[in-house]
Amino acid sequence: MVTAALRAHPPSCFRALSYVFSLHSEIPALAQHLDEAFAGLRETEARPPMEHRYSLASSGRGDGLIDVLRHGSVVAPAQQPADAVGWVVCDVNRAAAEASGEHLLFHSGALDAGGIGVLVPGTSGSGKSTLVAGLTRAGLGYLTDELVALDLSSGHLLPYPKPITIKRGSFDVLPGMRPAAAAAGAAATATRTSGAAKGADRRSCDEWQVAVGSHERGRIGRACPPRIVVVPRYDPDAATALTSLSDTEAFLYLALNAVNLLPHAGPGVAAVGRLVSDCHCVALTMSDLDEACALVVGLVEEHAARVG
């Protein structure tokens, strides 16, 4: 039976690579935030009821907390609103990796620099998402910050414009990317006096989920061939600098960050080898985001000049 709330705020349909899902909240402000956060993944075609369904609802305990439901079952109870959205982003990313096995997947960010694909592989804490956000702010087209899909038939990086997950340590260097929901949460915190409430709000602001595609927060890129690989490493005590990688080093970095290399066996290894031969591969030590972005933009401009 369809409830009045569901009719008033119908589920929205989204695609994360090969994973199609619906997302709904009966809370108007939260529904709007979800639509904004996942705007880059929105499906334009009408679809029947989704097999994969997420919904966010009030916990019903009068504490302002949110229950996250997947397929009608509570999977993450009593979350702060920002944490609930982050939980959905994380679970969608996991499901997208499982559902998109036809592509070679990398734990990496990616950007479209006017048809020049920039691949940014790296582990958590390397500064990967911060660098991708900075390059998006600098004008490069955003493809993804977490899970890159390489189409083996075309050799192109595919757009997967999930919201960029920016951790607390990067808030100060990316103030213009602060989501409206985070700003509203900070304002609400300022009016509270309960120590427990303040502690919960601090936890809820550990990450921003930043939608890309608005004028202020950059543009979404198109599928493009990878031509530059940048392996970042954040070191606050080191000078920001680029270092060339040998073919062996580049292959190892890419292979170690390949999510599903083993199932693709020989063709997957060959694809990594083509990436190394087709791309200018560098390591980036960064302590200053603006300097790091300028160096990467310089690489893009040099490549564009070489190919005419």
Tell me the average pLDDT across 51-76. Answer: 93
Cα–chain center distance at 308: 32
Instruction: Please give the residue that has the higher pLDDT: either 7 or 67.
Output: 67
Query: What's the pLDDT at 62?
Result: 81
Residue 12 has pLDDT above 80, yes or no: yes
Q: Are 97 and 105 in contact (CB under 8 A)?
A: yes
Burial of 66 (0-12, 13-18, 19+ CB in 10 A): buried
Instruction: Please give the residue that has the higher pLDDT: either 127 or 60.
Output: 127
Domains in the chain (CATH in brackets) are 1-99 (3.30.413), 103-163+216-306 (3.90.228.20)
pLDDT digits (tens, 9 = 90+) for 85-113: 999 999 999 999 999 999 999 999 999 99
Query: What's the pLDDT at 45?
Result: 75
Query: What's the pLDDT at 1?
Result: 35
Residue 277 has pLDDT above 90, yes or no: yes
185 confidence band (pLDDT: 50, 70, 90): very low
Query: What's the pLDDT at 233?
Result: 97
Cα–chain center distance at 75: 22
Alpha-carbon gap, residue 95 to 110, rounded angstroms: 19
Phi, psi at 3, each rounded to 5°: -80, 165
Instruction: Please give the residue that has the higher pLDDT: either 217 or 33.
Output: 33
Please state, rounded to an integer, the average pLDDT across all residues of the chain: 88
Residue 2 has pLDDT above 80, yes or no: no
Cα–chain center distance at 173: 18
Residue 193 has pLDDT above 80, yes or no: no
* Six token digits for residue 54: 């997420």
Tell me the average pLDDT across 162-166. Answer: 95
Tell me the average pLDDT across 7-34. Answer: 87
Query: What's the pLDDT at 5?
Result: 44
Phi, psi at 294, each rounded to 5°: -60, -40
pLDDT digits (tens, 9 = 90+) for 139-160: 999 999 999 999 999 999 999 9
Residue 119: which residues within 8 A CB-CB, separation 6 or more?
A: 106, 108, 109, 110, 148, 157, 226, 228, 229, 230, 254, 275, 279
Q: Are 233 and 284 in contact (CB under 8 A)?
A: yes
Q: Map tokens 């900070």 to a residue.
A: 186
Query: What's the pLDDT at 205?
Result: 67
Burial of 211 (0-12, 13-18, 19+ CB in 10 A): buried
pLDDT digits (tens, 9 = 90+) for 33-44: 898 899 999 987
CA-closest candidate to residue 66, choices 24, 115, 10, 95: 24
Instruction: Please give the residue that has the higher pLDDT: either 193 or 110.
Output: 110
Residue 22 has pLDDT above 70, yes or no: yes
For the ranges 2-16, 54-68, 79-93, 209-223, which has the lowest average pLDDT?
A: 2-16
Tell me the average pLDDT across 116-128. Answer: 95
Q: Are 178 and 171 in contact (CB under 8 A)?
A: yes
Percent of the chain at pLDDT exceeding 70: 86
Tell me the average pLDDT across 46-64. Answer: 84
